[in-house]
Amino acid sequence: MEGLRRGSAAIVGVAESDLGQVAEGMSVFDLMAQGTRRALDDCGLSLKDIDGLFCATAQSRLSVLGLAEYLGIDPKFIGSTIVGGSSFEFHVAHAMGAIALGLCNVALIAYGSTQRTIGRKQASVREINPYETPFKPFLPSSAYALAASRHMHQFGTTREQLAAVAVAAREWALLNPAAWEKKPLSIADVLSSRMVSYPFTVRDCCLVTDGGGAIIVTSAERAKSLKKPPAYVLGCGHSVTHANITSMPDLTVTGALTSGKAAYKMAGLGPADIDAVELYDAFTINTILFLEDLGFCKKGEGGAFVSNGRIAPGGSLAVNTNGGGLSYCHPGMYGLLLLIEAVRQLRGECGARQARDCEIAMAHGNGGVLSSQATVILGAPSTL
C-alpha cells in the first residue's frame, strides 16, 4: 500500500451486531445500524461525527446508499468495494488513505447478513460460469476442497491435520461466550461427520449464521482522545489472483503471499512479531494455506504446523482466538469480525481467550474462492 504511513490511522471503536440467528424480520441494515450504535458507544463518538462510510453485503446491490439512508447521514466519502469476505480489510486501507488525504475524518465500516434466517440461496445468488457450472460443483465448498486435495497430494497433508484446525477453533470458541458452537470437538468427530465435498466433512466447513458489526477508524491524532486504547494500523496489503477456482494460478499458493509481504513491509515487522493471528477460516484448509503464505511456516509444512495443539489455547501461536468462522460465527462475509477480535485482543478485553502479552495482531481476510486476500496488521499504542 504505497503512500500509506504506518500508524497514521487507528481503529477506535468495534462491535458485533446480534449474531447466530437474529430476530425474524431484521434486515442487513438493521444489523449494520445495531453494530454502528454499539461501535460508537465503544469509542465515545456519535453518529454526527461520521463523515466516511464503507460497507458491503451480498444482500444489497447498493449497500452504501442503503446504509447512509438508514443512518440518515450524508458522508463526505463513501466506499463499497466488494470482493467477498476480505472486503473490510480493503476498506481499512481505503479509509486510512481517505483520512490521510483529508477526504474524511471518522470512517465507519459496517456489515450485516441474515443468511441463516432467510436461507443461503436467497442471501447469495450464484452466478453462472460456463466453464464450471456444467460440472455442477457444490460451491464454495468444492472449490476449497479442490485446493485441499491438491495440498494433500503435493505435500502429504492429511485429513487429521485439517481436522486439527477445526478442533483448535472449537477449543477457542468454548472460551468465547458469543460463539455459536458450545460442544467439545475431537479429530475423530471431524473425520466421522457428514461428508460435504471430499476431503471436507461438515466440521471442516464454516458455520452458516446471521450477524455483522461495525468498526470506527479515525486519525492517529484524534484517536488519542477517545474512550478506549487505539489499535493503530501498522500495515496493510492486498492481492487479487482470480475470480473462479479454475483460474487460480496455483491451488496451494494464495494471494496472502503478496498481501502479507506488503503489510509486513509497511509495518516494519515480520511473522515472529505477531502475537495474535486472526485468519479467515471458511474451511480448514484456509488456516493452513494462510499460515504458510503469511510466513508462519514454510510452504507445505502447514499441516504439521497446526498439529498437536500449536494453534489451540495454550499453544505457541494464538490463531483465531474467537473460535473463527468454523465455530464462532460466519455470516457470509466474515472479514469484519476478524478486525473486531484483533482490536479486542490488543485491548486485553478477551477474558479467558486473551492472548498473552498481545501488542501486535493480524487480521487476514479472504474473499471469493481464495480469490481476494487482504492483510491488516494492528498495534497497541506501545508499538508506535
* φ, ψ dihedrals at 144, nearest 5°: -70, -35
The torsion angles phi and psi of 279, rounded to 5 degrees, stand at -115, 145
Q: Report CA-CA distances (Å) from 305 to 184, 291, 299.
A: 22, 9, 11
Q: Which of 197, 124, 179, 198 is nearest to 326 (CA)?
A: 179
Contact 273, 294 (CB under 8 A): no
List Cα–Cα distances, 251 to 118, 144, 206, 370, in angstroms. 32, 9, 20, 9
SS3 315: coil
Distance (Å, rounded) from C-alpha 207 to C-alpha 304? 25
Is residue 132 within 8 Å of residue 246, measured between CB atoms?
Answer: yes
Q: Which residue has the cell 477445526?
A: 166
CB 308 within 8 A of CB 188: no
Which one of the listed residues 111, 232, 328, 334 is annotated catalytic? 328
* Alpha-carbon gap, residue 349 to 355, rounded angstroms: 10
> What distance in Å separates the CA atoms of residue 33 and residue 71, rounded to the nearest whole number?
7
Reading the block at residue 164, the C-alpha cell is: 486439527
- Beta carbons within 10 angstroms of residue 192's beta carbon: 12
**131 catalytic, yes or no?**
no
Distance CA 66, CA 53 (A): 11
Strands (E), 42-122: 52-55, 77-79, 106-113
Active site residue 264: no
* Phi (first) and psi of residue 319, to 5 degrees: -125, 125
One of 111, 232, 264, 280 is an active-site residue; which one? 280
Q: Which residues are catalytic?
A: 280, 328
